[in-house]
Structures are given as C-alpha cells and as structure tokens.
Amino acid sequence: MVHNQECGHITDVAIPGIDLLIAIGVIIMVLGFLGCCGAIKENKCMLLLFFVGLLIIFILLLAAGIAGAVEEEKTKEWVKDKLQNLLPLSGQPTEVQTDLQALEVEGKCCGLINGPSDWGSSVPSSCECKDTTAQCESSGGKNVYSTPCVSFVTNYLKQHLTVALGIAFAIAILMPLCSDVCPCKVSPTKEW
C-alpha cells in the first residue's frame, strides 16, 4: 500500500495488531529459550513449560486462522467503516492527505468510498486519470479516476491476509510435529 517511510501515518492508526504481534514474538522467544535451556540441561520442568506453551500457541494459531478464514466479510466491513471515518478527505491533516494521495497513485483510484466526491471540491492531482484503460470521469475540470480506493485497500489486505493465514496454518501443522520430542524428554521412562 504505502511503502515510503514518510507516508506511514495512516498505517500507524489503521493497524493496531502490530503491538499484539510484538507481544507474540516476545512470548515465542521466551518459549524458545525455555526449550533450549530445558534440552541442554535436560530439565523436565522447562521442557514441560515449553511443551505447554507450544500447545497453547498451537491452539491460538488454529483458532485465529479459522476465525480469519470464516470472518472475511466482517473484515471487509470493518475496513470500510474505518475508511468511512476519514471522510471528508479534505478535512484530514496534511500527513494523512499525503498518505491517501500516495495510495491513489499506486491503486489508480480516487477517494476512499464514494470516489472523487470524497475530496469535496478540491480533488488532488493524484486522482488524475492518465491511464486510458481505467474508468475515468470529469471532476472540477480534471479527468480523474472514478473508482474509489476501498476495493484496492480490501484486495491488498486480502492478498496479505491470505499469505498470513497460510503461514499460520503451516506453523500450526508443524508445531505438534516438532513438539512431539518434549513429552519424550519429560517422560520418566528411559525407553524413548
């Protein structure tokens, strides 16, 4: 969507899950430490904590993957509601307008929900339709894209969420296979 570091103001507000991902990363790092130390020192308590932690993460990943796959329409509606809160676009701070204009150039679209009318009477140059194959209309004496950016944003999110869901399911499948070693080490019998 927006790749420039200067244009990160929308993504700072629109993606609250970043803090959650950082917390999950820290938890996984601690679990990895427990697993390594438990394996090196052959400490059953650490290995048991590692196994239980992996089991909990496995269940959470599986639940999140299923919920994400099932709730796709609700996600689209949530995105549309968040974008609706930005209207009118001309009333947004300069940084947000710059981010939106970068989005419009990349997506070859104009406005968020209703097209060029989202900008009011001052449609920016980022909406100018230079592509002859795109749907264009006349607004304020300019030839602008008539397609709103909501479809570009939802398609962008759908592409990346599909990849994230695939990774989550792959990890959820691999985790039980890899963590099968823990009960073998924790078990009091030496036959393993």
Enter the DSSP assignment of 117.
G
Higher pLDDT, 192 or 15: 15
For residue range 108-153, what is the model confidence (pLDDT) as tens digits?
888 888 888 888 778 888 888 877 766 777 776 778 888 888 888 8
**CA–CA gap between residue 85 and residue 170 (Å, rounded):** 36
Q: Would you give the distance in Å from CA 190 to the centre of its chain?
A: 45
45 assigned to some structural domain: yes
Same domain, residue pair 92 and 134: yes
Instruction: State both tokens at 131.
Output: 């592509």
| pLDDT confidence band for 7 (50 / 70 / 90) | very low
The label of the residue with tokens 């974008």 reads 83
- Exposure pattern of 73-111 as b/e (b: 16+ CB <10 Å)? eeebeebeeebeebbebeebeeebbbbbbbbbeebbbbb
**CA–CA gap between residue 112 and residue 123 (Å, rounded):** 12
6 assigned to some structural domain: no
Which CATH number belongs to the domain containing residue 125 in this structure? 1.10.1450
Res 47: pLDDT: 83
pLDDT, mean over the chain = 75
Phi (first) and psi of residue 139, to 5 degrees: -145, 120
103 assigned to some structural domain: yes
Same domain, residue pair 56 and 89: no
